[in-house]
Amino acid sequence: MTGRARKAKEPSYIVPALERGLLLLQAFSKDKPVQSLGVLAKELGLPRATTFRLANTLEHLGFLVRDPDTGEYRIGAAALKLGWTYLSGLELPEIAYPFLTNLRYETGASVHMAVRDGHDIVYVSRLPARTALSSNIKLGSRLPAHGSSMGRAMLQDMEEDELFKLYRGIRELAPFSPETPNTVMQLRELLLKDARNDGVVISRGYYEKGVVSIAAPIRDGRDRVVAAINITAAEGRYSDEQFEGNILDQVLKAARLISMAIGHDPETHRMTPGLVHALPDTALAEPRYSPDDEQGHPKYQDREGLEKADREFRRDQRRLMREEKAHQEELLRRYAQEDEEETF
């Protein structure tokens, strides 16, 4: 064996057309959400005719959407589905990490995330503040749910009977400070108050004297509380105006973004389109017979009417497909001609 270093081999079995298609998708970004065919062709270094074929294929599969008026493209729902499939394979701390990092940067406080396990919360993320006084909580640490701000943020999602069932047989709750509830009834009153405050828990010395905290729940695509985040700091670090103003807003923003990243829609409290796979065989696909269109009219509801409606539907589909094919062939011819003219 010689001492000469071997060159790294190019990957075998590369499919050039697939590679180009994926590179085309990567041309879209937050800063460039909409792209024209000319810009895409230039960025990929490909003829416009070739770029058109790639874009047309991706549009057919739902990865791109073409504006019929401008001819420009944007990312389609099928690409969003892949993104959510990737996110669904990650652990929650991985998804939340960039948002928690930003929260620490914006507030200068220690930032945590926890999940509930019975009566306790378990810390699954910890980003200590870069100050002399920072969090000494370790990953995997447990605290009683009733005695912590994040615990309250998660417990408030429970129905009253669920809450009493969880604490069945427990007559007194362990006190940690004068602010900590001693009974389940007192805890319930606190949770109702938190719920009226958009789920936010603002605590001053609730678990530990001299420590202030703001916690907010994390909700999934089914509107269930699955975790909570909080910031903690030394009492006096912020003015009351700062604490219940900008700091509170930053915690709410982070909680909302993490929730959206795992499928929650804060406006409708339903799954975001990314988790409901936006493909033809899903609830997002338009039904063939809608009560609002001609095919859903009562006159079509007998067997003969339905068969007639189906024939009309198929005929219209064939006509639209012929028109679309002719339009695409014309575009392809024009782009090929422009590519040829540019070579001279």
Counting beta carbons within 10 angstroms of the beta carbon of residue 300, is it exposed (0 to 12), middle (13 to 18) or buried (19 or more)?
middle
**Of 246, 228, 229, residue with least CA distance to 237:** 246
Distance CA 341, CA 104 (A): 56
8 A C-beta contact, residue 226 and residue 219: yes
CATH code matching the domain that covers 87-261, chosen among 3.40.50.720, 3.40.225.10, 3.30.300.180, 3.30.450.40: 3.30.450.40
Report CA-CA distances (Å) from 24 to 41, 51, 74, 198, 241.
9, 8, 11, 42, 48
According to CATH, where is 1.10.10.10 located in the chain?
15-75
Give me the torsion for CA of 237, 238, 244, 249, rounded to 10°: -90
pTM of the model: 0.56
Phi, psi of 307 (to 5 degrees): -65, -40
Stated as kind and residue range, the H or E segment containing 235 is none
For the record, the structure tokens of 122 come out as 């378990």
In DSSP notation, 117-128 reads ETTEEEEEEEE-
Q: Which CATH class is domain 15-75?
A: mainly alpha
For the chain, helix (H) and strand (E) counts, in that order, are 11, 9
The order of strands in the sheet holding 34-35 is 34-35, 73-75, 64-66
Distance CA 107, CA 85 (A): 32
Report CA-CA distances (Å) from 224 to 94, 143, 220, 228.
19, 21, 6, 11
According to CATH, where is 3.30.450.40 located in the chain?
87-261
Using DSSP's 3-state secondary structure scheme, residue 142 falls into strand
Query: What is the residue-level pLDDT of the chain in tens, covering all 344 positions?
Result: 444 444 445 566 778 889 999 999 999 987 888 999 999 999 999 998 899 999 999 999 999 999 988 989 999 888 877 776 665 555 788 888 889 999 998 888 889 999 888 888 888 888 888 765 555 677 778 888 888 889 989 988 888 888 888 888 887 888 777 777 888 888 888 888 878 777 888 887 666 777 888 999 999 888 888 899 999 888 777 777 878 888 889 999 999 999 888 888 776 654 333 322 222 333 322 333 333 334 433 443 445 555 666 667 677 767 777 777 777 777 777 777 776 666 55
Distance CA 263, CA 221 (A): 4
